Structure 1
């Protein structure tokens, strides 16, 4: 009898200790994967400290530009649809507007160097981008596609599966309904100072699999994914559409990035934020810059569907958080 009680006691204790990880685990597996997502926006109340003499300097264009009414650094992610609108506005208002194309890094350099009136970012600003007197204006958001080779039989992945693939926890396509082939993951971890869209997959580059093939250029992303039947990558929807004969766009949680209603509601999880800036302090502020921003926001409303954009007004209606004109939070 004593021996039986001792055995039962031992079994009970063993079961208790085996259950401990379940009973006291702080998060489920799905919640744990969700926690690996980076913050989508920086603190909008932050103002980067700059030397006192910096604040006194005016905007001064590069000598090569010469005279101009406005100088703009336009991010390559939205120059294809914004530059024609800017040129139209310039003609209508008899203005000389110089547009320089570049990246978020180039735009940040133009802002901190006070070499332009408006600069464009394809990401929410980093804290270091939040310069004294600089305001951000969100044009809208672009859905970001998860891409595979056209011959890949996989058509849909869950959000958790996407994270596990890029994290290196899923290494073979057969684990997600594909062929028995090793997965070749390609990442473009751009704008590392900022809450860039790739952080919506995993917060930082250390969380990505060591085997991840990283590329700098958008063209290289499409080149690698289109040339390797076992590859997977990510890029903005409009560029994926332009390359639709070379790559295939996956559904995520059964939702396609083309379904802008679901992008607006937050059900589709990957997007890129398009921002423009203006100077608001008296010695740098140009009324025409603010008028141009208002014009662009209004015009983007009209072309949003063709440009695969969810415009700012639609985001507001869907419950996204704004501080003045800047998008600063997702819908709950």
Structure 2
């Protein structure tokens, strides 16, 4: 499966690069060309939900890639896609974490923060535990608490599942523990949010994490618990009561057109986005 994802990712970027090269060599009207956005799933969700409105207001066709981090998509892919931008083949990217100014300068890109997203703490649906304190959770992720009976649950081993992506970037899972080395060594590492949900579903003692924009299907056997009795809502995140979150955003090259920038700005500040923010418990940053 991983080999297939890598191959598909390579094929996607080869196609995107070839399309960019072709656009450079053929004289076409920019207004007739689709705009491509790709990258991290959780930011993709926002743009995908708003796609009809964005296309209507911009008058352009918009192609979006990133569902369930397909084709190897993620923050790095979002940055790579943004840098492929050309006059006749316009692109932008999705990221699910903050980017330091040094990285933005190095990659020659512009970051557009959109919203803070609560990070949900996931357990198996059959787990009787409904809330854990920050201290308990961090001890479990570190491996200091290894059985659910130590926190009021049934006598069952804790199976820690992590997705420690973007290790050199601030925020996201680092609000749980600041360094990958602090997580227990015998954890299960996954490559995508879909794999996270499936893995926690597979283990009655599972403990994992994902973003609030994730849509759980009927096959998932997980639930999100409270942290210190506090639900992962936008109101609780905004007030500082809920501790775990990450920043969702978009990136462009510094040569992005007014149209591309206006599409992103519409997401940042438009009234339609406020409805999406309420749907996914997001805290708008603009």
Query: Smaller-chain TM-score range?
Result: 0.7 to 0.9
Structure 2 distance, partners of 1:133, 1:228, is 43
TM-score normalised over the length of structure 1 = 0.68
1:109 deviates by 2.1
Bigger Cα displacement from structure 2, 86-95 vs 225-234: 86-95
Alignment of 1:160 onto 2:115: no
Matched, 1:107 2:73: no
Separation in 2, partners of 1:162, 1:312: 27
2:278 is the alignment partner of 1:305: yes
Comparing 163-172 and 175-184, the one that deviates more? 175-184
Q: How much has 1:252 moved relative to structure 2?
A: 0.3
Name the structure 2 match of 1:183. 158
Q: CA deviation at 1:133?
A: 5.2
In structure 2, the residue matched to 1:78 is 43
1-structure distance, mates of 2:252, 2:76: 17
Post-superposition offset of 1:234: 0.7
- Whether 1:123 aligns to 2:97 is yes
- Higher mean alpha-carbon deviation, 168-177 vs 86-95, is at 86-95
Is 1:143 the counterpart of 2:101? The answer is no
Q: Counterpart of 1:306 in 2: which secondary structure?
A: helix
Q: How far is the alpha carbon of 1:208 from its aligned partner?
A: 0.8
1:238 Cα deviation (Å)? Answer: 3.0
**Of the two, which has the highest radius of gyration?**
1
Give unpaired runs (5+ residues) of structure 1.
1-60, 314-332
Q: Unpaired runs of 5+ in structure 2?
A: 1-15, 67-72
- Residues 275-310 of structure 1: CA deviation (Å, up to 9, x unaligned): 112344xxx241112211221121312321113211
Superposed displacement of residue 270, structure 1:
0.9
Assess if the C-alpha contact under 8 Å between 2:79 and 2:251 holds in 1.
Answer: no
Q: Please give the per-residue CA displacement for 1:67-91, whole angstroms capped at 9, x wherever unaligned.
A: 6363322421132331242343223
What is the RMSD of the two structures over their aligned residues, measured on CA atoms?
2.4
Structure with more of its chain in helix, by fraction: 2
Pick closer, same or farther for the CA change 1:169–1:113 going to 2, 3 Å.
same
Which of residues 13, 16, 19 is equivalent to 1:64? 19
1:99 and 1:182 map into 2 onto residues whose CA distance is: 41
Do residues 272 (structure 1) and 249 (structure 2) align?
Answer: no
Corresponding residue pairs, total: 249
Cα contact 1:72–1:97 (8 A) shared by 2: yes
Q: Contact 2:122–2:224 at 8 Å: present in 1 too?
A: yes
Instruction: Specify whether residues 77 and 287 from structure 1 end up closer, same or farther in structure 2 by C-alpha distance, changes over 3 A only.
Output: same
Partner of 2:173: 198
Moved more, 172-181 or 85-94: 85-94
> Does the residue aligned with 2:161 lie in a helix, a strand or coil?
strand
Q: Which residue of 2 aligns with 1:327?
A: none
Q: CA deviation at 1:274?
A: 0.7
Tell me the CA shift for residue 227 of structure 1: 1.8
What is the match of residue 287 of structure 1? 258
- Give per-residue Cα distances to partners, 1:300-328, cap 9 Å, x unaligned: 12321113211124xxxxxxxxxxxxxxx
With normalisation by structure 2, the TM-score equals 0.78
